Amino acid sequence: MAKNKVQFQRGLSLTQFLSQYGTEEQCRSVLFRMRWPQGFECPECGHTGYCEIHSRKVYQCHRCHSQTSLIRETIFAATKLPLQIWFLGIYLITQAKDGISSLNLARTMGISANAALRMKHKLQQVMKERDDSQPLYGLLLMDDAYWGGKKRDGIRGRGASGKMPFVAALSITPQGHPISLRLSHLNGFTQKEITAWSSKHLSPGSLVVSDGLNCFPGVKQAECGHEPIITNSGTEYDEFKVFKWVNTMIGNVKNAIHGTYHAVSEKHLPRYLAEFCYRFNRRFQLHEMVNRLAYVALRTPPMPQRLLRLAEVQW
């Protein structure tokens, strides 16, 4: 029996990681090349001549004498943690199939639980913003799902109190194989909400296949085609398992969150969903994920604590 290429890929071993990112200087050197691949360029005047002030870890321009930090205006801005700790956090988060809790991060890296939680949320934000900048396109499967909810309040199903709705959209090949996934927390399943979400996350001209829920025709207003399919047991479509892959993804993300985290609040749910999507969408490049996430983190605006505590993360 052939081995699953995703499951059995080598990835980046801990030994390889430490050889590439094991010291602070190695991490700074990697980030320097990522930020200025053609060599240093002053953000104020564009001059390429500079000197490094080691005591303050800044670079000073020879022309305008302005000083800039390697992590200025990035997700790492104002951090008190060494860069090698950040890279270790990136490694642990990207290489864990089902994710890793902030408490486990803290114990593994030897930092406080609060620092580990801030790091995790910031890296999740990087993942979210990266995937949000790349709309899904082509043939798409969409389905509705819910996270959480009280189990003993007398109400079951969609009307149960505490349930948090989220939409799952999966782009697939003409042969039905999954390509990219998007999971987003919504305020509710209404046509207005689906239209607004589709305008941001779906490319015009895509064909969306969904069940018969009356909110999904909202994708038409986002210039996408729509084909509703009723898949109740006994219908002609039931045996073809049209929504097999999108339902599998919904089940996988629920199992991953349940098995890894003690609790996930509604205001942070979008980040946890985005983390799962980011790893899934790059599942064939496991060995490249540390570099890729670090590269995007350098191009993501700072996320101070006051923004991390906002009442709600936008989808």
In this structure, are residues 182 and 277 in contact, taking their beta carbons and an 8 Å threshold?
A: yes
Sign of the torsion formed by the C-alpha atoms of 279, 285, 289 and 292: negative
Q: What is the pLDDT of residues 262-282, one digit of tens each?
A: 888 888 999 999 999 999 999
In this structure, are residues 272 and 264 in contact, taking their beta carbons and an 8 Å threshold?
A: yes
Could you give the dihedral angle defined by the CA atoms of residues 124, 126, 132 and 138, in that order, rounded to the nearest 10 degrees?
-90
Length of the chain: 315
157, with CB counted inside 10 A (0-12, 13-18, 19+), is exposed
Q: Is the pLDDT of residue 151 over 80?
A: no
* Spatial separation of the C-alpha atoms in residues 6 and 263, rounded to whole Å: 28
Q: Is the pLDDT of residue 45 over 60?
A: yes
Strand partners, 145: 166
Residue 243's SS3 state is coil
Domains and CATH numbers, the chain: 24-70 (no CATH), 139-149+161-273 (3.30.420.10)
* Angle (nearest 5°) at CA 259 between 282 and 145: 70
Phi-psi region of 245 (alpha: psi -120 to 50; beta: other; left: phi over 0): alpha
Q: Is the pLDDT of residue 206 over 80?
A: yes
State both tokens at 190.
Answer: 């209404």
When the pLDDT of each residue in the chain is averaged and rounded to a whole number, the result is: 89
- What is the mean pLDDT of the segment spanning 183-195? 94
What is residue 163's predicted lDDT score, i.e. its pLDDT?
86
Q: What is the pLDDT of residues 54-106, one digit of tens each?
A: 888 999 999 999 999 999 999 999 999 999 999 999 999 999 988 999 999 99
What is residue 83's predicted lDDT score, i.e. its pLDDT?
97
Q: Is the pLDDT of residue 292 over 50?
A: yes
**What confidence category does residue 239 fall into, taking pLDDT thresholds of 50, 70 and 90?**
very low
DSSP state of 4: P
